[in-house]
Structure 1
Amino acid sequence: MSRIGKRPINLPDKVTVTIDNQTVSVKGPKGELSRVLPLEVSVELDGSVVTVKPRDESRKARQRHGLSRTLVANMVEGVSQGFQKRLEILGVGYRAQVQGRNLILNVGYSNPVEIKPPEGIQLAVENNTNVIITGINKEVVGNIAAKIRDVRPPEPYKGKGIRYAGEQVRRKAGKAGKK
């Protein structure tokens, strides 16, 4: 059995979980999320503790066990606290700004790049070079952060580009000079 899957999920105050067959809905102060879990697992609610168990000992059930528990735990954490990703922009003249809900990036292309966030995602910019992505769905927050990073990934020679906060970029030596 999965070590992660065995751990129970404790519900914080003001978070409610409803289970309808394989659909798990979590409601909290920040919003509401729901997800359909695979048929190989069962979800049980006992007071303020949610447990996920495999229906049998098949390989597929064991594979889905830990995944399903983590998905439910992320939903609980998202509606109670929310998720946040930070990006840093490095480069001369590179900057970001928010216009309405959209993010405008000036990162060395001839035209600015505009990114429209999906519903439930907020974008903020600090000091023109730090982008903060917040939302209740961990998967969507990570996908938007990856899309923004893909606009101009960090290059290995000067380190210019968009990177996650705290990301270490392996640097390469440039061309050797003439002798």
Structure 2
Amino acid sequence: MSRVAKNPIALPAGVEVMLVANEVSVKGPLGTMKQMLSNDVVVQHEGEELLCKASNESAKADAMSGTIRALIANMVQGVTKGFERKLTLVGVGYRAQAVGDTLNLTLGFSHPVVYKVPVGVTVSTPTQTEVVLKSTNKQQVGQVAAEIRAFREPEPYKGKGVRYAEEVVKLKETKKK
């Protein structure tokens, strides 16, 4: 059995879980999320915990039990605390400005980059060089952060570009004569 699936998912106060056929829905203070289940996984609600078990002895069922357990645990955390990802803009003249559901970026191109943030993700810019993304969906926050970073990834000589706040860019030494 998957080592991840062996751990039960603790349900904090204020979180409701509905198990219907092949679907799990989690409702909490920040919203509701749903996840389709594989036929290889059985989810059991026992008291204040959820257990994910493989329905048969196949390797696929074993792998899916750990995957489904991780997805449901992320849903529980998403509807209680939410997820946040911070980006930093490094470079002279690099700026970000959040206007409604769009993010205007000045990244050294001849034109400004306008990124439309998808529904479910909120964007804020505490300073001109910081972007904060928040959502209840961990995958969606990570995808949006990766798309914004892809506009201008950090280059290896000066480190200019869009990077994650916790990212460390290893700089190369310049060419010598």
- TM-score w.r.t. structure 1 length? 0.97
- Partner of 2:56, secondary structure, is coil
Instruction: Measure, in 1, the Cα distance between the counterparts of 2:31 and 2:138.
Output: 13
Instruction: Measure, in 1, the Cα distance between the counterparts of 2:81 and 2:88.
Output: 23
Q: Superposed, which structure 2 residues align to 1:140-159 within 5 Å?
A: 140-159=140-159
Which consecutive residues of structure 2, in runs of 5 or more, have no partner in the other structure? none
Instruction: Measure, in 2, the Cα distance between the counterparts of 1:61 and 1:139.
Output: 22
Q: Superposed, which structure 2 residues align to 1:2-21 within 5 Å?
A: 2-21=2-21
- C-alpha displacement at 1:168, in angstroms? 1.0
- Partner of 1:126, secondary structure, is coil
Sequence identity (%): 46
Aligned pairs, how many? 177
- C-alpha displacement at 1:117, in angstroms? 1.2
- Partner of 1:43, secondary structure, is strand
Corresponding residue number in structure 2 for 1:41: 41
Corresponding residue number in structure 1 for 2:136: 136
Which consecutive residues of structure 1, in runs of 5 or more, have no partner in the other structure? none
Instruction: Measure, in 2, the Cα distance between the counterparts of 1:39 and 1:137.
Output: 23
Corresponding residue number in structure 1 for 2:28: 28
Contact 1:104–1:114 (Cα < 8 Å) also in 2? yes
Corresponding residue number in structure 1 for 2:169: 169
- C-alpha displacement at 1:47, in angstroms? 2.1
Instruction: Measure, in 1, the Cα distance between the counterparts of 2:151 and 2:87.
Output: 12
- C-alpha displacement at 1:141, in angstroms? 0.4
Letter in 1 for 2:153: P
Letter in 2 for 1:55: S
Q: CA RMSD in A?
A: 0.8
Letter in 1 for 2:70: T
Letter in 2 for 1:94: Y
